[in-house]
Amino acid sequence: MKQTKNRAVLSAMFVALSVAMGYFFLAVPNVEMISATVFIAGAVVGPLYGALIGGSAELLFSLFNPMGSAAPPLLVAQVLAFALIGALGGCVGSPGGMPLWRKMIVYGLCGFWLTLFYDALTTLSFTIYMAGFDLQKLAAIFTAGALFTLTHVLVNTAIFTTIVPFILLGIQRYLHEQHA
Q: What's at 20, amino acid-wise?
A: A
- State the DSSP code for 20: H
The CA-CA-CA angle for residues 99, 101, 106, to 5°, reads 95
pLDDT in tens, the chain (180 residues): 346 678 899 999 999 999 999 999 998 988 999 999 999 999 999 999 999 999 999 999 999 998 899 889 999 999 999 999 999 999 998 767 788 899 999 999 999 999 999 999 998 887 777 777 777 877 887 888 889 999 999 999 999 999 999 999 998 888 778 776
* Residue 106 near residue 95, CB atoms below 8 Å: yes
CA-to-CA dists, residue 24 to 34, 50, 64, 120, 149, angstroms: 10, 21, 14, 24, 21
Contacts (Cβ under 8 Å, ≥6 apart) of 98: 106
Given 3.40.190.10, 3.40.47.10, 1.10.1760.20, 1.10.10.10, which CATH number is that of 2-179?
1.10.1760.20
